[in-house]
């Protein structure tokens, strides 16, 4: 039995007894395998679930391993629990297995001069598994589609930009800390959207329609239960997260309708006929095209309990792709959805060298706090919601490449949740519609990350955004091009409501107007950073107090503004330089900044820091720099981002 690495049998009388056994089990899975086989390399199983069940029959705490051969595996659902502690699931050396949480869609026929249609399998929705938090009564929908290994674009109306609705909700937002809106929205306000008559044809098939209603820092995702074509009002189901029109935002988009099929590559789920309608790209042959629709929200799930966590599971070298999401509003950071890899009460579980791409929800998600989770050297791309969403204590998230998240839900972020004593280092995060990193908790270290092209759609977020965090260190990070084109409300580093005792140190932001934003935060230190921009630079301290600014360089070709300068209790050895010659500090009165302070206080110089070549990212100083005179250390940002792996 080749899967038993060590064994000893003691024959006694007429029985056979196992004595002093150390079991190290290893089984193989192949796309052309057979679950009735033995699971050896010569006769591999066909499914991961069969290999898991075989390994469970062996007692002992020695390492156990499932080796997955290269190839494509469809409709994969691997549920692991405490019986599987110590299990490694890894790709065979040099091979690339792809685990799909979906099934191929076949039987395409041409239905018009442009469109093809194929029926979903009769048992498609019986086999589909909604998110565990989602009531089964909610309608299941196909929320993403992969065609020839590409993310296919869901039909979108309008083709670009957004529609403007007429709903109004003028109730002030007091802050999360203060309980949200000044009064609670009514059910009618959460389930009604008033639209412009000229925008919506009375003949649009609203049974298929899905709406994204944009707010300030997230969006609602909902369907249309009814369309009053006389009053021009949609009845929304499920309800929106916030009333349409809240925060003075009136933007929305309609997905999944025939009217949104405006270009090749578009598709929609025709719920009336239980089919997929697709407009092929030029050169695509639907007789041979590989189209995969998701049937699962999760592909690999690791589940323990509070008293008995699942431990020491190791996933390595696998490619994981194609998952679904339920029709619910995403919530802040699109946190309502599960991950293609999902952990619940897990301890010391590792994910290394995974490729997770084209998934409907998160790539990796924890449903409840976990301990000692490690995510390393992973490629995470094209997620409908977010990237790595881990909560708990002692996590290490390092050397990952995360990009193009929020493909379906604009509130998706690169990393979310956080907890206590995390180390987040040497990651590269880019192409996010909202924040790149959004954490709470305390004692976390966020260092040497490279972040760019974030905050492309939503507002009130940042490259690195902490909310309510305590004693966290943000250091050595390089941030550039944040919020370009989204109208503002985007910063490089953001300490929000009740952040306290945090240090923002040795970071660089390039071409970020709002380099630092602080809101209802106190007793934080901003030290030895470089904030460089070809236009204006702002440092904001709304509602904050007792800040220390020490040895920072602010270099702007436009003006420099310090918003609520009174929040800064200590200024020490900073260098501020504006080529426009305008440096101002405002003083907060009530909830707004009013007037301009008379100059900046403390030991601060208004002079050119004499960088060697700021346009090329060289922040060393030329002789005679006032920064050198103040003892400011030049930054070397070459270590930000991913390190080379062996």
Model confidence band, residue 140 (pLDDT cutoffs 50, 70, 90):
low
Q: Check whether residue 127 and residue 59 sit in a common domain.
A: no
Q: Check whether residue 131 and residue 268 sit in a common domain.
A: yes
Q: Could you tell me which residue, 604 or 325, shows the higher pLDDT?
A: 325
* Last residue in a domain, options 23, 43, 69: 69
pLDDT at 131: 44
pLDDT digits (tens, 9 = 90+) for 542-572: 999 999 999 999 999 999 999 999 999 999 9
Read off the pLDDT of each residue in 443-455 and give the average, rounded to a whole number. 97
> Which phi-psi region, left, alpha or beta, contains residue 580 (left: φ > 0; alpha: ψ -120 to 50)?
alpha
Pull the structure tokens for residue 423.
């180390």
Contact of 352 with 374, CB cutoff 8 Å: yes
Number of structural domains (the chain) is: 2
**Average pLDDT taken over every residue of the chain:** 89
Model confidence band, residue 329 (pLDDT cutoffs 50, 70, 90):
confident
Q: Is residue 626 part of a domain?
A: no
Q: Is 80 exceeded by the pLDDT of residue 136?
A: no
Of residues 601, 564, 557, the one with CA closest to residue 581 = 557
**Type and span of the H or E element at 212:** strand 210-214
CB neighbourhood size of 580 (10 A): 12
Read off the pLDDT of each residue in 258-267 and give the average, rounded to a whole number. 96
Q: Is 50 exceeded by the pLDDT of residue 139?
A: no
Q: Check whether residue 41 and residue 139 sit in a common domain.
A: no
Q: Is residue 327 part of a domain?
A: no
Q: Check whether residue 36 and residue 115 sit in a common domain.
A: no
Q: How far apart are CA 141 and CA 592, in angstroms?
A: 45
Q: Check whether residue 187 and residue 51 sit in a common domain.
A: no
**Range of weakest confidence among 90-99, 432-441, 503-512, 580-589:** 580-589
Q: Check whether residue 117 and residue 248 sit in a common domain.
A: yes
Q: Is residue 564 part of a domain?
A: no
Q: Could you tell me which residue, 605 or 523, shows the higher pLDDT?
A: 523
Model confidence band, residue 273 (pLDDT cutoffs 50, 70, 90):
confident
pLDDT at 326: 87
Q: Is residue 574 part of a domain?
A: no
Q: Is 50 exceeded by the pLDDT of residue 7?
A: no
Model confidence band, residue 591 (pLDDT cutoffs 50, 70, 90):
low
* Last residue in a domain, options 69, 88, 113: 69
Read off the pLDDT of each residue in 412-421 and give the average, rounded to a whole number. 95
pLDDT digits (tens, 9 = 90+) for 530-545: 999 999 999 999 999 9
Read off the pLDDT of each residue in 233-249 and give the average, rounded to a whole number. 93
Q: Check whether residue 107 and residue 226 sit in a common domain.
A: yes
Read off the pLDDT of each residue in 81-88 and give the average, rounded to a whole number. 95
Residues forming a β-bridge with 396: 374, 423
Q: Is 80 exceeded by the pLDDT of residue 590?
A: no
User: Percent of the chain beyond pLDDT 90?
Assistant: 78
Pull the structure tokens for residue 261.
């099929």
Model confidence band, residue 133 (pLDDT cutoffs 50, 70, 90):
very low
Q: How far apart are CA 598 and CA 587, in angstroms?
A: 10
Q: Could you tell me which residue, 42 or 63, shows the higher pLDDT?
A: 42
SS (H, E, C) 440-502: EEECCEEECCEEEEECCCCCCEEEEEEECCECCEEECCEEEEECCCCCCCEEEEEEECCCECC
Q: Is 90 exceeded by the pLDDT of residue 488?
A: no
Q: Is residue 491 part of a domain?
A: no
Q: Is residue 495 part of a domain?
A: no
Model confidence band, residue 483 (pLDDT cutoffs 50, 70, 90):
confident
pLDDT at 11: 28
Q: Check whether residue 194 and residue 261 sit in a common domain.
A: yes
Cβ neighbourhood burial of 162 (10 Å; 0-12, 13-18, 19+): middle
pLDDT at 33: 97
Q: Which residues form the domain of 19?
A: 1-69
**Range of weakest confidence among 19-33, 128-142, 293-307, 418-432:** 128-142
Task: Give the residue carrying structure tokens 């070709």.
Answer: 557
Contact of 530 with 555, CB cutoff 8 Å: yes
Q: How far apart are CA 298 and CA 364, in angstroms?
A: 9
Pull the structure tokens for residue 107.
């039987």
pLDDT at 132: 41
Read off the pLDDT of each residue in 56-76 and give the average, rounded to a whole number. 90
Q: Is residue 634 part of a domain?
A: no
Residues forming a β-bridge with 320: 99, 356
Q: Check whether residue 117 and residue 15 sit in a common domain.
A: no
- Give the predicted TM-score (pTM) of the model: 0.90
Q: How far apart are CA 110 and CA 267, in angstroms?
A: 14
Read off the pLDDT of each residue in 80-104 and give the average, rounded to a whole number. 96
Q: Is 90 exceeded by the pLDDT of residue 328?
A: no
Q: Check whether residue 278 and residue 185 sit in a common domain.
A: yes
Q: Is residue 322 part of a domain?
A: no
Q: Check whether residue 139 and residue 3 sit in a common domain.
A: no
Q: Check whether residue 43 and residue 126 sit in a common domain.
A: no
pLDDT digits (tens, 9 = 90+) for 92-103: 999 999 999 999
**Range of weakest confidence among 200-204, 315-319, 402-406, 526-530:** 200-204
* Last residue in a domain, options 292, 313, 344: 292
CB neighbourhood size of 518 (10 A): 28
pLDDT at 17: 33
């Amino acid at each position: 039995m080749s899967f038993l690495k060590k064994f000893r049998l003691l024959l006694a009388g007429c029985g056979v007894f196992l004595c002093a056994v150390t079991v190290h089990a290893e089984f193989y899975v192949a796309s052309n395998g057979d679950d009735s086989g033995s699971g050896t390399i010569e006769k591999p199983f066909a499914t991961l679930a069969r290999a898991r069940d075989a390994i469970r029959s062996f007692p002992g705490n020695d390492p156990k391993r499932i080796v997955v051969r290269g190839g494509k595996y469809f409709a994969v659902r691997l549920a692991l629990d405490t019986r599987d502690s110590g299990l490694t699931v890894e790709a065979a050396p040099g091979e690339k297995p792809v685990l799909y949480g979906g099934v191929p869609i076949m039987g395409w026929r041409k239905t018009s001069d442009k469109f093809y249609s194929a029926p979903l399998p009769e048992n498609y929705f019986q086999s589909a598994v909604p998110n565990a938090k989602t009531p089964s009564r909610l309608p299941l929908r196909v929320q993403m589609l992969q065609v020839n290994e590409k993310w296919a674009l869901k039909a979108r109306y309008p083709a670009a930009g957004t529609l403007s609705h007429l709903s109004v909700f003028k109730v002030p937002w007091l802050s999360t800390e203060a309980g949200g809106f000044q009064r609670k929205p009514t059910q009618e306000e959460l389930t009604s959207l008033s639209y412009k008559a000229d925008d919506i044809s009375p003949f649009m098939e609203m049974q298929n329609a899905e709406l994204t209603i944009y707010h300030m820092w997230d969006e609602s995702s909902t369907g249309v239960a009814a369309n009053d074509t006389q009053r021009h009002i949609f009845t929304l189901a499920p309800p929106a997260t916030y009333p349409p029109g809240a925060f003075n935002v009136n933007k929305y988009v309609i997905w999944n309708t025939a009217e949104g099929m405006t270009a090749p590559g578009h598709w929609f789920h025709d719920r009336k006929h239980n089919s997929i309608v697709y407009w092929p790209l030029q050169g695509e042959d639907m007789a041979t095209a590989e189209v995969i629709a998701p049937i699962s929200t999760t592909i690999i799930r690791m589940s323990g309990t509070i008293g008995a966590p699942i431990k020491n599971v190791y996933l390595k070298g696998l490619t994981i792709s194609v998952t679904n999401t339920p029709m619910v509003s995403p919530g802040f950071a699109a946190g309502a959805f599960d991950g293609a890899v999902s952990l619940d009460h897990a301890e010391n579980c590792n994910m290394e060298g995974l490729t997770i791409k084209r998934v409907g929800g998160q790539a990796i998600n924890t449903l409840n706090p976990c301990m000692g989770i490690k995510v390393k050297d992973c490629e995470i791309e094209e997620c409908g919601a977010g990237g790595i969403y881990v909560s708990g204590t002692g996590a290490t998230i390092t050397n990952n490449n995360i990009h193009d998240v929020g493909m379906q839900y604009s509130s998706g972020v690169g990393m979310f949740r956080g907890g206590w004593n995390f180390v987040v280092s040497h990651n590269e995060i880019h192409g996010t519609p909202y924040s790149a990193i959004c954490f709470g908790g305390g004692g976390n270290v966020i260092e040497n990350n490279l972040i760019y092209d974030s905050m492309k759609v939503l507002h009130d977020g940042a490259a690195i955004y902490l909310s309510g965090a305590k004693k966290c260190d943000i250091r050595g990070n390089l941030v550039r091009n944040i919020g370009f084109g989204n109208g503002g409300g985007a910063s490089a580093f953001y300490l929000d409501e009740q952040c306290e005792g945090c240090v923002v140190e040795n970071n660089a932001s390039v071409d970020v107007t709002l380099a630092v934003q602080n809101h209802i935060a106190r007793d934080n230190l901003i030290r030895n950073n470089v904030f460089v921009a070809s236009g204006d630079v702002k440092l904001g301290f709304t509602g904050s107090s007792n800040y220390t600014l020490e040895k920072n360089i602010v270099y702007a070709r436009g003006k420099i503004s310090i918003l609520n300068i009174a929040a800064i209790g200590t200024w020490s050895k900073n260098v501020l330089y504006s080529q426009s010659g305008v440096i101002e500090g405002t003083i907060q009165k009530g909830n707004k900044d009013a007037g301009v302070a008379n100059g900046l206080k403390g030991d601060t110089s208004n002079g050119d820091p004499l960088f060697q070549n700021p346009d090329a990212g060289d922040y060393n100083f030329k002789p005679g720099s006032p920064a050198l005179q103040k003892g400011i250390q030049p930054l070397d940002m070459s270590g930000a981002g991913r390190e080379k792996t062996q």
